[in-house]
Structure 1
Amino acid sequence: MFALIGIFFGIRSIKIRKEAYKKLEEAHSELLQSSVTSMKYAALEERTRLSREIHDGIGHQLTSLIVQLQALELMLPNDPKEASKLVSQLLQISRNAMAEVRIAVKEWSDDEMGLGLIALKGLISQTQARSSIQFSFCEDSEISEWSMETSTVLYRILQESLTNILRHSNANSAQIHMSEINDNIILLISDDGKYIGDTPLKPGFGISGIVNRCESLGGTCSITPNSPHGLKVQVIIPCNSTNYKE
């Protein structure tokens, strides 16, 4: 009798564990999908911003070029010397327009990587729009294409870091640096907030989440005082990480 009872509870326990594991997988899938949706929205906003910059920047340069070319056409028969001086100005306008084209092409090329870098830039733009803190983003090296798992982790880490800056830093500015060195992705987020390192940091839910997500891909995370004041978060993740677990 006791053996049968033991078997019954053993089977029931296995069934409960399987159901719990299934629910955990479903919850993880929903959370991952939510992150991907947020990344898509951020990427869409960044594409819209790029389109606006192309229209406003290059469009303005080309309009100016057309107007001055029309003036040059009128000047050529009557005042060739002045027309010659105008040519150098037109060349400079053309060079400026070409420079903006190159920047736009690079941005769109980064977009081909999917939801990696473009989503991070979009997230920064979104944060900037609702804050007086000045955020700047810099790529310190060539950036490769990331897996969806790596992109998701970096997006969530940056999201949490920016949220912490908004809520707790009392900063005027923050810098986000992205680079890849020796097959590692390095994300550095620093601010000029009120923290001066005089008291130990108390890891809350947000900081713990950053560390856990980083470690989920075999990476490391360091959180240190910034000089002369503020906080610095450095995340290092292997480029080819695929063992992500939320």
Structure 2
Amino acid sequence: MDFWIISNKTAVLAYVIAITFFLAPSADAWYILVSLFYLILNISIPIFKKTGPKQLLSILSAAFVIGCALLLDPLFVLLLPVNLYEVAWLSGWKKIYTPLLMLATIPFIPTSFLPAYLLAAFLSLLLLANVRIAIEKSAKWEAEAESMREDLQRLNRSLSENKEYMRQSEYTIKLEERNRISQQIHDDIGHAMAGALIQMEASKRLLAIDPDKSSELIGNAISISKEGLERIRFTLKDAKPRSEELGIHRLRLIVDELSAKHSVDATLAHDGDLESITPIHWKIIQENAIESITNSLKYGKASGIHIEIKVLNKFIKSVVSDNGIGADKVVKGLGIVGMEERAATVGGTVIADGTKGFSVTTLLPC
């Protein structure tokens, strides 16, 4: 704001000096001295950081202008509006008081200079008021930007904390699952194996004394061991996730990572009996989906990617489509060739289409 006020004062002072020397070429050195003193006085105002000295110098500048207008040349009154604006601005007055202050000086202005004074007052008020509004807006935007930076930092910290919490939670869940499995093995299998061992030890002692009883104990040990093996199989089968759960979960993980890391609207849909999809089928579907997504991000300029899995009567259909620029002619590079080779290992095929965005369809026989 100080720069614009000084610029306004300098422009008006230059106009006053030009008019004075044009109308009175023989003007004495007082004009030069007064002009230099006025410039020095006003240039000194921005030097001070505190408002008090600035207000004092601004009031002195306005008083100096009034004195010059009364004692030297009435033209100096044209400098009064910008000085009054500066006084009002430094004093923190409301915006409405500034034009009222300028209008209050009209009765003391000579009639011959009144039009020029009103024009100078209007132009100064218009310029400085707009500058003041721009500065206030800039300060408001800066405050909003600072607030947004603080919010962003807070969100980043929260995100880091959430990631750490998720990592710890995942690790804790794994530990709890390992503890559950080990406890179940100890409870269900350990006791059975201990019982079978006791039966076999007893059978060993009775082998020479009572062969029939020994044979009975060995039979019991065999039965207990078989039961223990069945419990082992049941425990491991229960702990191992089904292939369809593992496969669809991995695809969901791919979609979630895609949305989080690349700001892409990624979606996943499935239909049909997922249990009929074998692990080798899931492996092909996942690898082809990853390859298709990579191509969409690298070449397609896509903002949305959709993955759809359908289990039909004789085929498994996997489609990865995007809303990118597509391609008039599909050129089979290493990526598409690799997808075709993977699908061909189980008798499947791959269809690439670039008419509406880009889509890759993988068909695998059930």
Pick the structure with more helix per residue: 2
What TM-score do the two structures reach when normalised by structure 1?
0.48
Larger radius of gyration, structure 1 or 2? Answer: 2
Pick the structure with more strand per residue: 1
